[in-house]
Amino acid sequence: MSWVFLITLIALGLIAAAGKVGELIPASKNLTDFLKDSSGWVGLVAIFLGLWWVIRLFWYIGPMLKYAFLTWLIAMASALVMLALGLVFAKGQLSEWTSSNEKINGPLNKIWAALEPKQEMLGLVALILALVYLGRII
């Protein structure tokens, strides 16, 4: 399951930091354009995976903090970045689905207003965390 986590984190990072990645690696333009086309659905998947990983990490918090604190910290940061980028990319679908419920739209609009300016930075952080996570599992 950790490979699904890693691939999702890389996809989110590539979508969010497409401009920076395109400057550094010009050959990645086709991949980032392909991922941008499906960013809404990638965002929805990232929300569910991010929530699942946060819950899973809190479930095993005792042993992880005792024996693998740094691993737990990296995994929690990765899951939170995944959740944040998922919320940014799924904005279209979520706003469409919750358009009639103002109790949900208000907090979601505040979250989007806070996260959207930081999208590229979060994407670069996601790519860095994915590389660190990859180094840990190899």
Do 138 and 86 contact (CB within 8 A), yes or no?
A: no
Check whether 88 has a pLDDT greater than 60. yes
- What is the distance between the alpha carbons of residues 35 and 4, in angstroms, rounded to a whole number? 16
pLDDT band at 85 (very low <50, low <70, confident <90, very high): very high
Give the pLDDT mean for 109-116: 85
Check whether 81 has a pLDDT greater than 90. yes
Domain-by-domain residue ranges, the chain? 2-137
Least confident of 19-23, 42-46, 94-98, 106-110: 19-23
Per-residue pLDDT of 3-37, as tens digits, reads 888 888 888 888 888 777 777 777 777 777 777 77
Count of CA atoms in the C-beta half-sphere (13 A) of 14: 23
The pTM of this model reads 0.84
Q: Given CA atoms 114, 89, 52, 132 in this order, what sign does their dihedral have?
A: negative
Structure token pair of residue 82: 């995944």
Check whether 55 has a pLDDT greater than 90. yes
